[in-house]
Every structure is written in structure tokens, then in C-alpha cells.
């Protein structure tokens, strides 16, 4: 599923947040067009190599094995008003496989250090 999502984002140019198991997330990055181009031109043989070294628009590189979540974001981002208008009560709903709240899952996947940081990423996720 991650590989498919990366392929769609590679061809669409839509920005995304990418979270990792052991490092800080990448925010509002675009996935290299190389992944989509490989499929478009029938070069599926190159996909394993490309997915082992995925390039992002901010210069970061990651392997598919490092990625925890991919959270597509809207082109153009969010206004301060849009984020302020998000109903954070949705964050208390249980969505996780072990009954975790959305808030807890966001805090873990984005490696948040404070409630303020968690609220910010929760707002972005809900708004997206």
C-alpha cells in the first residue's frame, strides 16, 4: 500500500507528510517523479532500487522500510484560519488497532514532544 501511495504521489505532485519509525517526519514534501516515470515507461525492474532510495523534494532520501505513514496534504497547504477551525474532539475518537485515539497515533507517528506540537499535527491531519 505504501508503494502504491508513493507511486500516486510521484505522478500527481501532491505534497505529503511522511513519518518514519526512527526519525523526524518530512512535512509537505513531494515524492520524486522517478517512481512514477519508471511505471509510465515500463521500467518496473527499477522500482525496487527506487523504493530503496526514495528522493523527496527537500533533498531527503529514505527507504520504503523506514516509512511509517504517508499522509497526503492539499496543494497550497492550509491557512491559519483553516487549521484554527478544526474540531480537535475528533482526536479523542478511537481508531487504532488496539483502541488508540487518533491523538495518540498522531503523537507517536509524528514523534511529538509536547501537547502543542501534537495539536498542530492533529489539526493538519484532520484538515487534510
User: pLDDT band at 21, cuts 50/70/90?
Assistant: very high
Contacts of 40 (CB under 8 A, 6+ apart): 11
Section 40-64 average pLDDT: 90
Q: The cell 517523479 sits on which residue? A: 33
For cell 523534494, the residue is: 57
Task: Kindly indicate the confidence band of residue 27, based on its pLDDT and cuts at 50, 70 and 90.
Answer: very high
What does the alpha-carbon distance between residue 116 and residue 86 come to, in Å, rounded to a whole number?
Answer: 14
**Model pLDDT, residue 9:** 96
The three three-digit cell numbers of residue 11, written as one number: 505522478
Predicted TM-score (pTM) of this structure? 0.91
Amino acid at each position: 500500500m505504501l508503494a502504491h501511495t508513493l507511486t500516486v504521489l510521484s505522478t500527481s505532485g501532491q505534497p505529503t507528510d511522511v513519518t518514519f519509525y526512527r526519525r523526524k517526519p518530512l512535512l509537505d514534501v513531494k515524492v520524486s517523479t522517478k517512481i512514477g516515470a519508471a511505471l509510465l515507461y515500463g521500467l518496473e525492474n527499477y522500482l525496487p532500487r527506487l523504493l530503496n532510495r526514495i528522493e523527496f523534494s527537500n533533498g531527503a532520501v529514505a527507504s520504503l522500510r523506514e516509512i511509517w505513514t504517508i499522509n497526503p496534504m492539499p496543494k497550497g497547504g492550509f491557512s491559519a484560519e483553516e487549521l484554527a477551525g478544526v474540531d480537535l474532539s475528533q482526536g479523542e475518537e478511537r481508531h487504532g488497532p488496539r483502541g488508540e485515539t487518533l491523538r495518540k497515533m498522531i503523537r507517536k507517528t509524528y514523534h511529538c514532544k509536547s501537547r502543542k506540537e501534537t495539536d498542530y499535527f492533529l489539526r493538519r491531519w484532520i484538515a487534510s
